[in-house]
Amino acid sequence: MAQRAKSGDGRRKSKLSVPNPLVEAWTTPFQLPPFDRIKIDDFLPAFDKGFAQHRREIAAIVRNRQPATFANVIDALERCGDLLNRISAVFFNLAGTDTNEEIQAIERALAPRFAKHRMRIYQDATLFGRVDRLFKARRRLKLSQEQVQVLERYHRAFINAGAGLAPGPKKRMAEIAARLSVLGTDFSQNLLADEQAFVLVLDDEADLAGLPEPIRAAAAQTAAERGHKGKHAITLQRSSIEPFLQYSARRDLREKAFNAWIARGAKGGRTDNRKIVAEVLALRAQRARLLGFKTAAHLALEFSMAKTPTNVRKLLMEVWGPARSRAGEEREQLQHCVQAEGGNFELAAWDWRYYAEKVRKAHFAVDDGEIKSYLQLDNIIAAAFDVAGKLFGLTFTERKDLPVYHSEVRVFEVTRGGRRVGLFLGDYFARPSKHSGAWMSGWRKQQRLAGDITPIVVNVMNFAKGRPGEPTLLSLDDARTLFHEFGHALHGLLSNVTYPSVSGTSVEKDFVELPSQLYEHWLTRSEVLTRFARHYKTGKSVPPQLLKRFEAARNFNQGFKTVEYLAAAIVDLELHVLSDAAGIDIDGFEQEVLKRIDMPSEIVMRHRIPHFQHIMGGYAAGYYSYLWSEVMDADAFQAFEESGHIFDGKLAQRLHDHIYAAGGSRAAADAYVAFRGRLPSTEPLLEKRGLVASGPAR
């Protein structure tokens, strides 16, 4: 982005900046946002204009005296708000990837404005009346399958905003929405502040004990970026701290780093999130009751494949038992390793990854550090592109002539058969100004309602960068994350629908992870790794025997991985089935639920409540979705294995047509059946995670 202004009076200064690139027609190639011209001062006046224009567009729909039709109500709603949407896409992507105090101040100011603006639209009695009449007559309107899905979504949005309520409850719904928007922003900013505040500086060789060279190199680069040149440093980014916990021989430093990691959002003081979570839960429960739902979970699951908390709990507990049992067996192995080395202590949470790596290396002769030397970031990006080419005929061409919001971002033009599909941006490296985690978002959705609009999507990662002049090396988990997020990107890029509200990833929350988790399967296949996993020094391909050893160890430590995930999913569900969360003791509740399910004391849930970003956003009562989707992805990839060819053309075409291209144009269950011919079972999932005996070799 262009030079950032430092004045606190962004609104006053920006009105003197004419023209404002955010509200102009974008004449950049592919109509990419003109990042090189946008200044922070431009945002507030642009939002003022965007809100005002959207209000006028909505007012025109409301004033229309013609009988309600799909064209003059739903098509019109789909067409309006374009200016506000594109300004929002630029701002909120920037707020997540390269934020600062000025951007955060704007973010806090915008949160209640967006909530008020949305509720004004979705509580409008006249507009709701027109939508409701169409909804009740939908079977007589001769609508396409996609149009029915769009209409049902709009009707649900109006109902869930309180459009059908009496004036008093309707007003309270608006108040709740405004307050939740503020709390969500505060939660996210507090979490980022806690992550930015911690840096574990490793001063000398003793502090580096046990760390392989690739991890040392990444830690050296992190230290240099954090102002500790010549030393090494660990941050709370997962790609930094997890390898440290896995290899550091310094138990005292592992404990220090681990405790800081799990304490995010719960350190007391200004950035503590526990009171925020308690208030959010109480407001969600109240909103659900106003809408006639038993709990917040019942409301959240209305638009999902699972439908009810009972169905979610059944799936979670079906897997919890085998996972808990396997984790117990793993714990005994690790404790034996501790004692064999002369350790006179009980295994603790900060020890698990370290001793698991030792046991795995001893049993399977595999070392994550060894495979990491073969997983160069650029090669794994190329592998993800190559798989997309083989499955879907896509070609990716890097464009270094286009504006980007940060110098580290890469841009690729995506084509198929010479025809443009869209733009893909990759933002791969961790930096203090970026929120943790990995995600896919974008600046434009595919649609045909307003013309042949091609998508612009971005993958955001937080990989630890290698030393200057040296390649960035990934762990196997990092490489899976890259493939996972690229699966989401393909869901956006390959979308082939008419209406933007059902474009790309706009699907049921427990279906959205299917395209991403399914795509991970191709990474670890020998057909891919033997081509793209090459040693960063010698250039030699990864030895087949090393791949065989890693495949043999594939299910090692799966009890731990499944338990830490399931515990978080179970706690998420139990939080949202509370009928009244007012005054809840967050720490006490977390401990009570974990005690009830007999959580192993040596394992910590993957996301503790005070930093559980998923449940503050679109995954409230929905963290189970990863497991629900995994049932489908294990079953779906089994189809390719059964065909004998992981790039089977006919299967790939069905996968494209019914999963990646279909968006939300049909119900998720129908889409899956159209691809697979039936609904999935949990058996391939349990087999994939090694929680049941494997079937015959395929």
Residue ending a domain, choose from 193, 225, 243: 193
* Rounded CA separation 338/394 (Å): 50
**Residues whose CB is less than 8 angstroms from the CB of residue 580 and which lie 6 or more positions away in sequence, other chains included:** 282, 285
Flag whether 312 is in a domain.
yes
Flag whether 658 is in a domain.
no
Total domains present in the chain: 3
Query: Cα–chain-centroid distance for residue 79?
Result: 27
The answer on 32 and 180 residing in a single domain is yes
Residue ending a domain, choose from 148, 171, 193: 193
The answer on 334 and 221 residing in a single domain is no
Flag whether 20 is in a domain.
yes
The answer on 143 and 17 residing in a single domain is yes
pLDDT digits (tens, 9 = 90+) for 590-605: 999 999 999 999 999 9
* Rounded CA separation 436/241 (Å): 12
| Contact of 493 with 455, CB cutoff 8 Å | yes
* Res 80: pLDDT: 97
Flag whether 371 is in a domain.
no
Question: Mean pLDDT throughout 1-23?
Answer: 53
The answer on 139 and 45 residing in a single domain is yes
The answer on 180 and 34 residing in a single domain is yes
Residue ending a domain, choose from 595, 623, 651: 623
* Rounded CA separation 220/226 (Å): 10
* Res 369: pLDDT: 80
Among 485, 513, 602, 630, the one annotated catalytic: 485
The answer on 226 and 173 residing in a single domain is no
DSSP 229: T
pLDDT digits (tens, 9 = 90+) for 26-84: 999 999 999 999 999 999 999 999 999 999 999 999 999 999 999 999 999 999 999 99
Residue 144 sits in a domain whose CATH number is 1.10.1370.40
The answer on 36 and 163 residing in a single domain is yes
Residue 281 sits in a domain whose CATH number is 1.10.1370.10
* Rounded CA separation 420/636 (Å): 28
* Rounded CA separation 188/203 (Å): 31
Q: Is the pLDDT of residue 17 over 80?
A: no
Instruction: Give the pLDDT band of residue 618 (cuts 50, 70, 90).
Output: confident
* Res 413: pLDDT: 98
The answer on 221 and 185 residing in a single domain is no
The answer on 38 and 187 residing in a single domain is yes
Instruction: Please indicate whether residue 683 is annotated as part of the active site.
Output: no
Provide the whole-model pTM: 0.93
- Cβ neighbours around 282 below 10 Å, total: 18
Domain containing residue 167: 10-193
Instruction: Give the pLDDT band of residue 386 (cuts 50, 70, 90).
Output: very high
The answer on 66 and 140 residing in a single domain is yes
| Contact of 41 with 16, CB cutoff 8 Å | no
The answer on 133 and 19 residing in a single domain is yes
The answer on 34 and 155 residing in a single domain is yes
At 624, list the tokens: 């189970």
Flag whether 662 is in a domain.
no
Flag whether 418 is in a domain.
no
Flag whether 485 is in a domain.
no
Flag whether 252 is in a domain.
yes
